[in-house]
Chains A and B, each alone.
Chain A
């Protein structure tokens, strides 16, 4: 499984990273090495092995549907790079089409 430049560019877009040309070159090579190494798991016969999604048996943890106090609002807004009262301000979104 060869990793090509185009693969990295696509992944960069999916993961919202504005990689530089140098970074794309570097990650293309490094990812290729790592993916080659990771391919070793294809040696195993895993047909009858169920996947383990979580180390502990996943059971939902319930609580009563009651309103509880949560005084975090100001603390959360305090870290905003840009805010307008109770809102986070962001640049506008331009439709790519």
Chain B
């Protein structure tokens, strides 16, 4: 008997087209996994079981052509994206009982093509974190090894795919929050170019860095989901004036004679030895596949982390000012307005969120703006210049995704800086606005997985997904 939950999106879609499988069978099969594993993994903050089964039955009762590859297929989304009438908590006490009054554009698109959203996944509070340990509501464990973290901030969305609870999911990525958990959980995670996917209905953390992106077990599955949710949106003025992207048809293009640049600043010091080894092996794979390998230097990367934690926290301090107990969310009762603001926010926000708000306020405050924020914006420009220069001679840029494998719970909680260093390889991508994908260095085995990262030119999602797919197919 075939294992329904092991089918790729393409295979699943084919069987649904031919009515060899019903949506009810598919959704039920995935809920069987959820029922069995969720109590150990704890990836979901909200599950819509009855509605999902009803939606599946409704799909099955219809005749005619399916609306898309995802018609009748279950998906999950990170709980910082709105679904009308459902809770959007951002894993925070301050939004624990907030009900969204409108759909995020990505949700609207998924519903329009018939995808069945089965639930919302756990995250670091307000998407701030690299382990999912900052969730105020729940602990999520890495399905590969339950004593380790799934990564963050989209830890839940990575875990549900790694545990076969859904075939694909959506996360968000501001400094690596899709790619790093993908690396830790051994799945594919992809952040497109800034502006490819609408941010309307995504709770803002850092508006010039945030992007939504897909998780899948394979590059192809993630690519299919990306195609559906990409495209200009009149509700999001920062969305690029481009049609939904087409990347699946070029996944198997030859990469012979193309150039892979290996980023010097992301090798050696600061990267664990066993992670380094995976990168060296990956370079050999690309050599075998006929690509040219060259080492490239992007010197501004040494200052990327500093620039990121200035810019992202500055933007966060501004974006989170709206959580004041007035119009929605948690309110701490007080006799006077200013006290209400202060008590509400101190009690409603967790430690990491407060830390970043305070830091962001500091770097924007009078006397420090020029020393920090303005300088960080200039570093951002240097990063853009370095990327542009590297891409003059390279088609894609290769590095590790994270300096370490998934770490144990509590291991990095004592020192915020140690946690921030998890993101050294992913952050430059967000600062530049470039697309990047993380995929497992090899097929899953007993060891904890390691993610390999490919970054691409602005709006060249085609190339990085092509290179990632060819690698994956080559390893079987």
Asked whether A93 lies within 8 Å of B338 as measured between CB atoms, the reply is yes
Asked whether B336 lies within 8 Å of A79 as measured between CB atoms, the reply is no
Question: Is A90 engaged at the interface, CB distance under 8 Å to the other chain?
Answer: yes
List A3-41 residues whose CB lies under 8 Å from chain B: 7-8, 11-12, 14-20, 23, 26-27, 30-31, 33-35, 37-41
Q: Which residues of B contact A86 (CB under 8 A)?
A: none
Asked whether B329 lies within 8 Å of A81 as measured between CB atoms, the reply is yes
Chain A, Cβ-Cβ closest to B332:
A18
> From residue A20, how far is it (CB to closest CB) to chain B in Å?
8
Knowing A76-B327, A79-B98, A81-B329, say if A41 contacts B380 (CB, 8 Å). Answer: no
Asked whether B355 lies within 8 Å of A31 as measured between CB atoms, the reply is yes
Query: A34 vs B326: C-alpha distance in the bound complex, in angstroms?
Result: 32
> From residue A35, how far is it (CB to closest CB) to chain B in Å?
7
> From residue B213, how far is it (CB to closest CB) to chain A in Å?
15
Question: Is A67 engaged at the interface, CB distance under 8 Å to the other chain?
Answer: no
Question: Is B372 engaged at the interface, CB distance under 8 Å to the other chain?
Answer: yes
Q: Which residues of A contact B209 (CB under 8 A)?
A: 55
Chain A, Cβ-Cβ closest to B335:
A91
Knowing A51-B377, A80-B328, say if A34 contacts B101 (CB, 8 Å). Answer: no
Asked whether B376 lies within 8 Å of A18 as measured between CB atoms, the reply is no
Knowing A11-B365, A15-B357, A88-B327, say if A56 contacts B433 (CB, 8 Å). Answer: yes
Overall SS of chain B's interface: helix
Which bracket fits the contact residues of B? Answer: 35 or more
Asked whether A78 lies within 8 Å of B361 as measured between CB atoms, the reply is no
List A73-97 residues whose CB lies under 8 Å from chain B: 75-76, 78-82, 88, 90-94, 96
Query: A62 vs B384: C-alpha distance in the bound complex, in angstroms?
Result: 27
Q: Which residues of B contact A82 (CB under 8 A)?
A: 331
Query: A14 vs B359: C-alpha distance in the bound complex, in angstroms?
Result: 12
Tell me which of B109-117, B139-147, B340-348 binds A: B340-348
Residue among A8, A35, A42, A80 making CB contact with B375, cutoff 8 Å:
A42
Residue among A8, A35, A42, A90 making CB contact with B326, cutoff 8 Å:
A90
Question: Is B319 engaged at the interface, CB distance under 8 Å to the other chain?
Answer: no
Query: A49 vs B241: C-alpha distance in the bound complex, in angstroms?
Result: 28
Chain A, Cβ-Cβ closest to B239:
A61
Knowing A11-B362, A75-B102, A76-B101, say if A34 contacts B309 (CB, 8 Å). Answer: yes
Knowing A18-B343, A91-B334, say if A52 contacts B380 (CB, 8 Å). Answer: yes
Q: Which residues of A contact B358 (CB under 8 A)?
A: 8, 11-12, 15, 17, 27, 31
Query: A80 vs B330: C-alpha distance in the bound complex, in angstroms?
Result: 9
In the complex, 9 of the A-B residue pairs with CB atoms within 8 angstroms, ordered by the A residue number, are A15-B357, A16-B341, A27-B355, A37-B305, A46-B379, A50-B378, A54-B238, A90-B340, A94-B337
**B residues within 8 Å of A by Cβ?**
84, 98-99, 101-102, 194-195, 208-209, 234, 237-238, 240, 302-303, 305-307, 309-310, 317, 321, 324-331, 334-343, 345-346, 349, 351, 354-355, 357-359, 361-363, 365, 371-372, 374-382, 384, 415-417, 420, 431-433
Q: What are the 9 closest A-B residue pairs judged by CB atoms, nearest first?
A: A75-B101, A55-B433, A51-B377, A18-B342, A79-B328, A81-B331, A52-B381, A46-B378, A61-B237
